[in-house]
C-alpha cells in the first residue's frame, strides 16, 4: 500500500476518502507529499509562468464579503453531481466573476459566479508594475484561523530568546534534510526573537512512528533535537495529534517540508537561513 493510499484509508484524513471532490482537490497535494523532502517554496514551480516569489499579495480583498448566492449555487451543483461537501464561504476576488471558496476539510479553491466550475491553483494579475497574486491574503486569512485553533500543548515550541518579536508555524518531518538544516539554526532563529512552533508532517509511513515518539516524549524539545540529528527517539505510545496535524497541513495546501507560516497565515516557503527567514517574516508585518 502506498503512502497516498494509507493516508486516505487509515484515518490520517478520513474525509479525503469519502467523496469525489475531496479526492480531486486533495490528490495532487498528497501525491507530492509522498515523493520526498523538498523546499516547499519551489517544489511545484517548474511549470509556473510566474512563481510565488515574483508576486505580491492583493490588497483589494475582503474575507468578510461572502456571497451566499454563490455558496448556494455551488452547493446545489455539487449535490447534483453526487458530491456531498459543506461549502462555508465564497468570497469575490479581484478577478471579475471569480470567487475564493472555503469548504470544510478541503483546501480552498476558486469557482465562477454560477458555481459550476472548480478551479485549482494560483491566479496572478499582470499588466501593472509587478505581478499580483489575487488570492494570497484570502489564503492567509484561512491559514491564520486554522493555525490559531491548534492548542499550544499540541505543538513542539522553541521559544524566542528574550522578547518575542515574531512567531512562525513550521510543518516538519524528522527525516527531512531541509527540516534538519532549519533546526540546526534554531538557536540563531530564536536569538532573533522568533518563536518556532513545530507541527507534525511526516512524509512517509516510516516517519510517522518517529514523529509520534517525539510528541509522546516527556521532553519534546529534546526529542525533536535528537530526532533531527538522526538519533532514535523512544517513548511510550500515547494519544497524540500527529494525524490531525497531517490533515491540517493538507487542508492548508502543504506540499513539502518544512512548510513555514507566519502569524498572519502567509506561507513564506520552505527552508530559509535564519537571516532570510527574519526578513521574510518582517515582510508580512
CA neighbor of 172 nearest in space, from 208, 207, 143, 198: 198
d(CA 34, CA 204): 6
> Which of 192, 203, 220, 255 is an active site residue?
203
Q: Give the DSSP letter string of 99-114.
A: EEEEETTS--EEEETT
* 3-state secondary structure at position 192: coil
> Which of 15, 37, 43, 179 is an active site residue?
179
> Which of 43, 133, 173, 175 is an active site residue?
173
β-sheet bridge partners, residue 170: 198, 260
Question: Vertex 197, ends 192 and 200: CA angle to 5°?
Answer: 140
Active site residue 179: yes
> Which of 15, 133, 176, 197 is an active site residue?
176
Taking residue 222's Cβ as centre, other Cβ atoms within 10 Å add up to 12
Active site residue 37: no
d(CA 240, CA 248): 14
| β-strands 166-172, 259-262 pairing | antiparallel
Active site residue 203: yes
Please, what's the b/e burial string for 265-276 (b: 16 or more CB within 10 A of its CB; e: otherwise)?
bbbbbbbbebee
Active site residue 238: no
Residues known to be catalytic:
173, 176, 179, 203
Amino acid at each position: 500500500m502506498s503512502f497516498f493510499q494509507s493516508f486516505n484509508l487509515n484515518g490520517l484524513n478520513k474525509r479525503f476518502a469519502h467523496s469525489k471532490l475531496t479526492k480531486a482537490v486533495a490528490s495532487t497535494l498528497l501525491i507530492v507529499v509522498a515523493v520526498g523532502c523538498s523546499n516547499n517554496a519551489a517544489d511545484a514551480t517548474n511549470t509556473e509562468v510566474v512563481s510565488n516569489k515574483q508576486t505580491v499579495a492583493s490588497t483589494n480583498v475582503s474575507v468578510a464579503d461572502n456571497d451566499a448566492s454563490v455558496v448556494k449555487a455551488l452547493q446545489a451543483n455539487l449535490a447534483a453531481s453526487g458530491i456531498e461537501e459543506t461549502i462555508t464561504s465564497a468570497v469575490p476576488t479581484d478577478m471579475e466573476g471569480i470567487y475564493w471558496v472555503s469548504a470544510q476539510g478541503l483546501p480552498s479553491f476558486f469557482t465562477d459566479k454560477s458555481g459550476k466550475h472548480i478551479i485549482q491553483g494560483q491566479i496572478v494579475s499582470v499588466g501593472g508594475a509587478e505581478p499580483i497574486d489575487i488570492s494570497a491574503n484570502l489564503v492567509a486569512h484561512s491559514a491564520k484561523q486554522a493555525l490559531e485553533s491548534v492548542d499550544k500543548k499540541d505543538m513542539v515550541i522553541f521559544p524566542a530568546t528574550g522578547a518575542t518579536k515574531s512567531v512562525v508555524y513550521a510543518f516538519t518531518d524528522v527525516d527531512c534534510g531541509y527540516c534538519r538544516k532549519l533546526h540546526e539554526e534554531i538557536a540563531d532563529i530564536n536569538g532573533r526573537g522568533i518563536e518556532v512552533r513545530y507541527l507534525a508532517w511526516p512524509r512517509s509511513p516510516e516517519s510517522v512512528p518517529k514523529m509520534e515518539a517525539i510528541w509522546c516524549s516527556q521532553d519534546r524539545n529534546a526529542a525533536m533535537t535528537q530526532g533531527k540529528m538522526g538519533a532514535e527517539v523512544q517513548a511510550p505510545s500515547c494519544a497524540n495529534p500527529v494525524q490531525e496535524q497531517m490533515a491540517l497541513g493538507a487542508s492548508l495546501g502543504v506540499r513539502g517540508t518544512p512548510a513555514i507560516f507566519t502569524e498572519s497565515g502567509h506561507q513564506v516557503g520552505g527552508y530559509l537561513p535564519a537571516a532570510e527567514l527574519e526578513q521574510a517574516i518582517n515582510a508580512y508585518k
